[in-house]
Amino acid sequence: MSNPFTKVLIVEDNDGDAMLIRKMLEGAEAQHFEVTRAESLSEATKLIGVKTFDAILLDLSLPDSHGIQTIESLRAVAASIPVIVMTGLSDETVGLNAVQKGAQDYLVKGKVDAFRLVSSIRFSIERQRTIIEKDKVERPKAQIITLTSYKGGTGVSSIAVNLAYTLATTVKKKVLLIDAAGFANHISILLNLRPKCNLADICKQGKELDKQFLDTAFSTLGDNLSIICGLLKTSDFYDINPSFIKSLLETVSYDFDFIIIDTKAGLLDELNMLAIQQADMLFVISTTELLAMRDTKFYISALQEFGIPEEKIKFILNRDDLDVGILDKKLAQKKIDIPIYSSLPNDWQLSVKASNYGKPILDVDPKSKLGLAYKNFAAKVANVNLVSFKQDSSKPEEEKEKKKGMFPWG
């Protein structure tokens, strides 16, 4: 049953003004209000992180924030909640600036009665709902990319992190990166993040996910990359519910351009299967060692037997290096019998350096061969017409003798 009360957060440090607003709302007959008060911006931010609100009444002059910056700061943590600015300044310029920065309405203290206040709250909630629904219609759904491998050690998590980061920074796409690889929690380590929430925390919210919770739950890196980190403790495992994670994907599908899911190795896992089935593109990662290639061939066949369409499966060759692998790129593609969607060169030293620093490849050495390969990879994924990135090197690579390898399989 839906809550019959409209939950309003009053952000006001003046006791008299806060009491007057509360009395107006409590005396309303046509609508019932549940009122919570915060006396500062920092207190309001904390409350938004733990409670759900239908609307916010905001004073622009607070002990820890003043002027239009106040609404900008609040909107950063409560983008989906309608904000109504209340101020003692009878200045149309202030009201116009507030609306331009995301407020739904602007009211002057001392010149508003209970009817006007209640009407403003009701109409602001409806306008915000209309904006969200319109945005869903006009904005395409996020493209879901799942990264997987038959065996561990092929670099799935590293590719997930660096692809997500490159899409967010170089191609300027909105990206949600989800660590669904169990207890490894590699994403938070590779990005040097202190997780704000993980998949277990999401599942605890149930199927009816609250957008206000999600606004504050994601860890972020820059303006375009949001992250849900992996499980932190063994008890988290019991909170995982694939159907709830499916609800998460549906809830945020219009908020991002791409949702990238990192999975643990293997196929016969309920969470892995959900991520695979939900994918618009399924990146199967392999390195050039004989066993990795053999397992990848088997894995792709198994995926097809499980009903995954062939056109969704994309073969990613990682650590492509003739000095390390047992076969060249053309022979690898021939044996796997599927086109190589992207090939990432081997740079073990740079990869270790990046992971030890907790930074993406592009932050450590953007002009490296591996960094440029990630830029081309992201451009292909996003289908953007960027000029091809080329390695900045004055010396041509030495011709290397191609390795042929021995294949007792396929």
One domain, residues 52 and 160? no
Instruction: Kindly provide the b/e burial profile for residues 67-80, where b requires at least 16 CB atoms within 10 angstroms of the residue's own CB.
Output: ebebbebbbebbbe
Residues 149 and 39 in one domain: no
- What's the pLDDT at 90? 64
Structure tokens at 178: 């989800």
- 208 within some domain: yes
168 domain residue, yes or no? yes
Strand 6-11: give its sheet, edge to edge. 33-38, 6-11, 55-59, 83-87, 105-108
* Residue stretches of the chain with pLDDT short of 50: 1-2, 391-410
Same domain, 196 and 118: no
Tell me which residue range forms the domain holding 164.
143-382
Q: Are 91 and 191 in the same domain?
A: no
Question: Do 83 and 115 sit in the same domain of this protein?
Answer: yes
Whether 398 maps to a domain, the answer reads no
Q: Which residue, of 138, 153, 185, is where some domain finishes?
A: 138
Within-domain flag for 297: yes
Residues 197 and 116 grouped into a single domain = no
CATH assignment at residue 165: 3.40.50.300
Assess if residue 409 is contained within a domain: no
Q: Which of 138, 165, 192 corresponds to the end of one domain?
A: 138
Q: Which tokens is 156 given? A: 């799935």
- Pair (89, 186) in one structural domain: no
pLDDT of residue 382: 95
Residue 360 is predicted with a pLDDT of: 96
What is the number of structural domains in the chain?
A: 2
Q: Classify residue 339: in a domain, yes or no.
A: yes
Residues with Cβ within 8 Å of 155's Cβ and at least 6 positions away in sequence, in order, are 285, 287, 318, 319, 344, 351
- Look at residue 393 and tell me if it is in a domain: no
Q: What is the pLDDT of residue 395?
A: 42
What pLDDT, on a 0 to 100 scale, did the predictor assign at position 397? Answer: 43
- CATH number of the domain to which 67 belongs: 3.40.50.2300
Residue 389 lies in a domain: no
Q: Which pLDDT belongs to residue 355?
A: 92
> Of 138, 172, 200, which one is at a domain's C-terminal end?
138
Model pTM score: 0.68
195 shares a domain with 126 = no
Verify that 257 and 292 share a domain, yes or no: yes
Mark whether 152 and 260 lie in a shared domain: yes
Contact assessment for residue 182 and residue 230, using Cβ atoms and an 8 Å cutoff: yes
- Claim to verify: residue 255 and residue 329 sit in the same structural domain: yes
**Same domain for 167 and 190?**
yes
Strands (E), 189-257: 219-221, 225-228
pLDDT of residue 270: 87
